Amino acid sequence: VVIFDLQPPPAAAAIDAWERVDVTDWEAVSDAVDRIVNRTGAIDVVIANAGISVRRPFLEMSAKDVQSVIDVNLLGVMALWQAAARHMVRARRGVLLATASTNGSAGYPRYADYNATKAAVLALSRTLALELAPHVRTACVSPGYVLTPMQRTEYSDAQLDALNRRIPARRHANPDEVAAAFAYLASAEASYITGQEIVIDGGELAGSTAADHGIAFPDPTEDP
């Protein structure tokens, strides 16, 4: 297991190597993938997981801000998948995986740019499932709310409890539950799955999302 990241992983992480890679630099991504293949002889699975988001209303987004989200969330996936796919096509085997989001399938206010990139990743997966068939598979995991350490710092206990009550499962996902979906998609048991997504959202998309609404035009019944 090799991690590409700007920062080194925790010392306890079960990995074989770490490469400092900026996913917005296509040449650097390609060079890093080539180094790994030259060192190990093959590349079996890649997971494009890098992603950023900034919560802000659509009317306040700048071109620079939006471009930075696109560069990481969409173009970063394309860079890694393309670099890996070149080796996988030659080897006639491989799995391309990515972290999408429930935001790619439903509207979440204040995340217009993020939502658009995640929808694009789903479309990319479906497209490449056809282009790279039958030997290279693609798939996405689309999490809803996941209680990562970064996510937890954004909530007070009261805020977390209030949001959990709006999720049918009444809780956030554990990161291990998302990892388990990736492990399945990478395995031989998922050999007939390509161009698809696994949604892990505690039932949120079964109805409406837990996101708020009425941003540009506040609820007239509420006090200003």
Residue whose token pair is 């997966």: 125
User: Exposed, middle or buried by CB within 10 Å (0-12, 13-18, 19+), for 10?
Assistant: exposed
Tally helices (H) and strands (E) across the chain: 7, 6
What integer pLDDT is reported at residue 218 of this predicted model? 67
Q: Are 171 and 160 in contact (CB under 8 A)?
A: no
Among the listed residues 114, 155, 184, 192, the single catalytic one is 114
Q: pLDDT class for 11, splitting at 50, 70, 90?
A: confident
Q: By mean pLDDT, which of 59-63, 99-103, 205-209, 219-223 is the weakest?
A: 219-223
Active site residue 114: yes
Task: Convert the pLDDT of each residue in 140-197 to its tens digit.
Answer: 999 999 998 878 888 899 999 999 999 999 999 999 999 999 999 999 999 999 999 9
CA distances from 62 to 58, 77, 187 (A): 9, 22, 41
* Cα distance between residue 23 and residue 47, in whole Å: 12
* Cα distance between residue 52 and residue 114, in whole Å: 8
Residue among 97, 101, 79 at smallest CA distance from 33: 79
Task: Convert the pLDDT of each residue in 21-35 to its tens digit.
Answer: 999 999 999 999 999
Helix 75-91 crosses helix 112-131 at what angle (to 10 degrees)?
10
Q: Are 145 and 210 in contact (CB under 8 A)?
A: yes
Residue among 98, 181, 86, 184 at smallest CA distance from 136: 86
- Helix ranges, the chain (H): 26-40, 63-73, 75-91, 112-131, 149-153, 157-164, 175-186
3-state helix, strand, coil in the chain (%, to 5): 45, 15, 40
What integer pLDDT is reported at residue 168 of this predicted model? 94
